[in-house]
Structure 1
Amino acid sequence: MIKISEFVKICNQIKDVSGVDCVKICAEEDQGMRKLQDATGTILVGVIPSIEFSGTEDAYIANSACLFFFLQKEREGQSSEKELEQYSQTQDCLMKFKEWIFEDGKSLCKIFLNLKISSVSIDPEYNVFGKYLGWSIKFIY
C-alpha cells in the first residue's frame, strides 16, 4: 500500500514529466468535483490508489490500482474543432506520462514497481467531475 505522502510526491513528479499546470488528488468523484471547482489549465487528477491482495496469509501479493486523469475544463458552447484541440492538448500530457512509466521499468528509478503493461487502459473522458474533458489512464502495479 502506498503512503499518501508518497502518492503526493509521485503526482508532483507526473506534473513535472507531463507538463500539466496543477495537481489535484481525490478519493472519489464527489470530492474531485469539489477540488476542481474553477481549476484552469491542464489538470492532473490523481485518484488515491486502491489495493487488492491475493494469496495466503504467509504468501500474498499486493496489487495497487492507479487511476489518473489529464483534464481541461470544457468550454461551454465551443466548436467541435476547439473541443478536439482540448483533447489533443490533454492527450499530449498523457502520452508523456505513459512513455515515462513504460520507460521507468528499464531504468533504476522504479516509481510503479511491477507495472503490469497488459493492465494499462487509456480512455477519452467527457463531462468527468462535472464539466471537464480529457483522458484517463488506469493500470495495476
Structure 2
Amino acid sequence: MLNERELAADQRHQEVKPLLLIAHEALLAAIDLLNFVGKLNGDFGSSMKCGVEESFIELGRVWQAPMYEITLNFNQCSVIDQFREPRVLPLFNNLVANETGDDVEAEILDRTYILPRESCFFMLTLIVASIL
C-alpha cells in the first residue's frame, strides 16, 4: 500500500508521462538539433575525460560503475541546529536523497549538479551480457 506522498508522486508521474513522451518523440524527430547538440563541448551532463564518455547511461554500463560516488554538500543548507558535513555515497545501486528543505550541491566526477530539496533518485548499473 502506498503512503500519501507516494500516491501524490505517482499521480504527478501519471500526469506528466504523456507530455514527456510527446517531448521525447519531438526531440527524436529533430535530427538537426540532435546533431548540433552532439557536437557541442558544453556542460550538458557528459564530457570527454581520458577518452571515456561520462554520460550517466554509459557510466552505468562499465565495470567500475559500483565504485563511482556522489558527494552531497550540505554547507549551503539553512540547518541551524546541526553542522552538515559533506556525505559521500555510492552513485549506482543506491538511493540518493536530499531530505532537507534546501537544494543541495552534488558532485559527480568533478561536475556539480543541484539536487532539489526533498528529492531522491536511484540509478542502476546496466549489465550487458553477450551470448556466444
Per the TM superposition, whether the score is higher than 0.5 is no
TM-score with structure 1 length normalisation?
Answer: 0.26
TM-score with structure 2 length normalisation?
Answer: 0.28
- Higher Rg: 2
The answer to which structure, 1 or 2, has the higher relative contact order (CA under 8 A, 6+ apart) is: 1
Larger helix proportion, structure 1 or 2? 1
